[in-house]
Structure 1
């Protein structure tokens, strides 16, 4: 490991020694048993041992190695087995299943840690001159198979970890812009900005283990995007190292300079070059920040309320509503209640029963507010009236505060579930408001039908996570009880049916996770064959030798099976 550069554990999410626990959540085990029939309290095998892996040797040649050491120094040219395995995968469920099983695929031959713009420029030219493959690496949190070399790649594969490029370089206070290096992790960036009274306001679920460059490369979105915008709105300019040249886009508020090159870079997943820094919108820290919690009789009522909130004068930083099953999941993850909390819950339950609500169908919502005290009071009043008009009730700040404190811990639950034979994953999409209810209803129904047909217990649930003038993102989570030798095939069935439902119900392949290899088989349905043609021409034109993360976004796959799948 390189001092000052964080690294996740090789077999799962986050840092060693930190994991999900159900022991202080008495309702969680019964919830899982009810939904998928698995007893999570049973004994599980110990964590995998790295020493049990058979790691293929590095294929880095002495010639290229010598050049890279001359550019970076010996310390920042790493070829040890664990570093190479960590950088070979993202943290998608398919990645985790394969690495745990020792199916390592084509590992990088070397991991580089450049410390300056000039070093990135030199190493890019050196690798391409040696006919190597370059894969940019941020925090390793990617879940769409965007970090692994293609199977059978015979050229030298180089992973470029940008973790040493982690500084806020400049803040233009007059313009509300900051120039920030691409390798900075979310918390480190916010600490630097907050110290000077500023915030980016971008908080994806992966915030702790993802970087500014990774957000840009995948068109990321954060929990507070309703106020601050997606990363595509936040990034105003950037620098990207390309073969033999450097792209520099100045931080302009808008321009009419032909087809937007900035937009071409956003979401390009390393296919066009290595992003080294960006100019981004920043905002003064708000005086007040509040998350209010609400309940609705049904998810459909919550969807209508969110649509009306977006059409109103209210502009909350976040408007989120969970469907019935996800609401049960959230409540099952609550810790053992205090006497006061228990009495409060019983009082709310009585109110719901008095209103004639079916407690199996209720939907929980969180709405976030930021700004001056006067502004927050005004927005809360507007939202309160909309909630009441849709039959909802307010339950105050308590649940929202707990959610805010634990929001970055959720990814750890996937490792916990895999240990117990449960495959858990997520897929997200956007639709116009007119189809928001339809895509939810049909996706849930198709998933359950598919699981019934193959005889596997599974559950899917959803929340609306990001809202816009014309529509919203809905974020689906699914869990499948299958610890058999066929679990990869079972996973493919589930992933395929969900993604195809998105296509058939006016959705997109992804709202903010990106394309990688996992979602590329649906691209011709999403952007039309002509759109795929344009993207292919762009990538081939910039990188005719296919040195820059080849096989991502555009590749020849079939729905539900990436080119790196076990049976591909």
Structure 2
């Protein structure tokens, strides 16, 4: 699927509000280098792909009422790239020569655009800093290696020069795992793996594929699909994230109920460290002491550069259905997801939104279509007769894959559980809409940011017994934080990624920017939500990694001794802090 075909988004002409033709051309020039496409330097996605509310008649009033921002306000123009004060490259000629010898001189870049594109990820903090021209430190050089030997040469050249190396995949990270420390005085090298984007082989008997780390999600699935296989890993960042990035951040995908998260899918790894290569075999299990594979998964570039991985693959399913359900309350929906996970039903995904997220979904529907059409006058009357509070309706999606008989049986089992918790079956329509809109959220965030609203996400996981208390605590703490900032705010949530013992809760929050220091306001709200996670027994992140954004809660999550163990591991492998210093543990 090409970027222009991303469901739910629309192409935007270069002269649309918030877009600068000179900015767009500069970005286009940058993405064509080395055949590696990058996202906009100032936002999410490719140039020309954007969200709009004009065909969603309920969204303007919804955002105005709940966030206090009028979407009809023209978008604030992005800075023209030429307005940025980009620090000069500090890369010494000797380092540039060594990098050129390793990767090829034509694959070593020091242009301002290349270095800005590789400075940040795509968190709200990253975008606010970029749009303010806040560039205290950029990489000094970007290198595009074509194979593992080139990476080994680059890593060794960096070590020999006393420089710093930060591995770069799709640039979609939202936890602050990519930017160089502002006070870093050593030369900084960004190692972009975008040229290493191939499925190298498929072991059909073992159902394993050997894949280069720089492959983007759509390219990976296209290559596997051509051979009749799928990895089944579909995070929200799927279109713009890479296999290596998924492994480095311990990613989960929407379909992890069936396929597992990236730690389940990754069986073998090859990782380059200064002067050596770490290789773990693609065996189904092992008893070889503390797991080296597990140490590398989630290491965020601190333990080396992932070059390739053996991953589990599955045959493409004969049938796929995403069915929508309504529940009278979030509590009922959570209980149903818990019972589905404990049942004999095989599902590919289980998700239920709270009433606020359901209302938002209704508001993002087009006229007379989608979710808003589902809540027709006839259905509303039927639900009223059943005693439902229409403002408390919670929308759920459950996915099924397999042969026709298996899907039919699983749907029947789930239907019984849904009915036992007071829910009703809505049908395939919402599921189709879910598949079309599941990659839209970052575009919506950028769209409302252009119009003065700050929006972000935070995710956690907890045991089934603690999910609802955690949910309520987060809601309370977020509302209290909005009050401290003095803004009208909105926080909503869905449950996803169900496990035997618990599930993920994924929160989205938004509020109107009211000062010239938006990061101060943002930190109050984001900090309150993250603190609520650990205070209520959840983890600091389910799948968005630690980075620098969440590092201050690490000791509360895994204990001070656990944090110290991670620091000791990183220090033993990289005593000079040459590999992505600052991520996870400073």
Same topology, TM > 0.5? yes
| TM-score, length of structure 1 as denominator length | 0.96
1:306 — aligned with what?
337
2:267 — aligned with what?
236
2:276 — aligned with what?
245
Kindly state the Cα deviation for residue 281 of structure 1 after the two structures are TM-superposed.
0.3
Match of 2:543 among 512, 516, 523: 512
**Secondary structure at 1:360's aligned position in 2?**
helix
Distance 1:331 1:343, change over 3 A: closer
Between the aligned partners of 2:414 and 2:371, the Cα distance in structure 1 is 27
Match of 1:289 among 305, 316, 320: 320
Kindly state the Cα deviation for residue 355 of structure 1 after the two structures are TM-superposed.
1.1
Q: Deviations over 1:509-544 (max 9, x none)?
A: 100010000111001100001101110110000000
Kindly state the Cα deviation for residue 46 of structure 1 after the two structures are TM-superposed.
2.2
| TM-score, length of structure 2 as denominator length | 0.93
1:278 — aligned with what?
309
The farther-off stretch of 352-361 and 141-150 is 352-361
2:425 — aligned with what?
394
Distance 1:340 1:482, change over 3 A: closer
Between the aligned partners of 2:399 and 2:531, the Cα distance in structure 1 is 32
Q: Determine if the alignment matches structure 1 residue 479 to structure 2 residue 490.
A: no
Kindly state the Cα deviation for residue 34 of structure 1 after the two structures are TM-superposed.
1.4
Q: Deviations over 1:67-126 (max 9, x none)?
A: 111222222101110110010000000000000000012100000000001000011000
Kindly state the Cα deviation for residue 395 of structure 1 after the two structures are TM-superposed.
0.7
1:498 — aligned with what?
529
The farther-off stretch of 353-362 and 18-27 is 353-362
Between the aligned partners of 1:12 and 1:504, the Cα distance in structure 2 is 33
The farther-off stretch of 421-430 and 483-492 is 483-492
Distance 1:85 1:358, change over 3 A: same
Match of 1:63 among 85, 89, 94: 94
1:138 — aligned with what?
169
Between the aligned partners of 2:180 and 2:402, the Cα distance in structure 1 is 45
Kindly state the Cα deviation for residue 353 of structure 1 after the two structures are TM-superposed.
1.3
Match of 2:581 among 550, 554, 561: 550
**Secondary structure at 1:545's aligned position in 2?**
coil
Q: Determine if the alignment matches structure 1 residue 384 to structure 2 residue 415.
A: yes
Kindly state the Cα deviation for residue 450 of structure 1 after the two structures are TM-superposed.
1.6
Match of 1:9 among 25, 35, 40: 40
Between the aligned partners of 1:440 and 1:434, the Cα distance in structure 2 is 11
Between the aligned partners of 1:61 and 1:498, the Cα distance in structure 2 is 43
2:458 — aligned with what?
427
1:445 — aligned with what?
476
Q: Deviations over 1:123-165 (max 9, x none)?
A: 1000111000000000000000000111111000000000011
1:64-463 to 2 correspondences below 5 Å: 64-337=95-368, 342=373, 345-463=376-494
Between the aligned partners of 2:328 and 2:289, the Cα distance in structure 1 is 49
The farther-off stretch of 175-184 and 450-459 is 450-459
Between the aligned partners of 1:506 and 1:18, the Cα distance in structure 2 is 39
The farther-off stretch of 9-18 and 453-462 is 453-462
Between the aligned partners of 1:455 and 1:484, the Cα distance in structure 2 is 11
Kindly state the Cα deviation for residue 213 of structure 1 after the two structures are TM-superposed.
0.1
Kindly state the Cα deviation for residue 338 of structure 1 after the two structures are TM-superposed.
5.3
Task: Extract unaligned runs of 5+ from structure 1.
Answer: 556-568
Between the aligned partners of 1:343 and 1:62, the Cα distance in structure 2 is 64
**What's the C-alpha RMSD, in Å, of the aligned pairs?**
1.2
Between the aligned partners of 2:255 and 2:177, the Cα distance in structure 1 is 25
Q: Is the 8 A contact 2:371 2:430 kept in 1?
A: no
The farther-off stretch of 351-360 and 246-255 is 351-360
The farther-off stretch of 338-347 and 528-537 is 338-347
Number of residues of Structure 1 aligned to a counterpart in Structure 2:
555
Between the aligned partners of 1:341 and 1:143, the Cα distance in structure 2 is 31
The farther-off stretch of 340-349 and 397-406 is 340-349
2:24 — aligned with what?
none
Kindly state the Cα deviation for residue 344 of structure 1 after the two structures are TM-superposed.
6.7
Kindly state the Cα deviation for residue 341 of structure 1 after the two structures are TM-superposed.
8.0
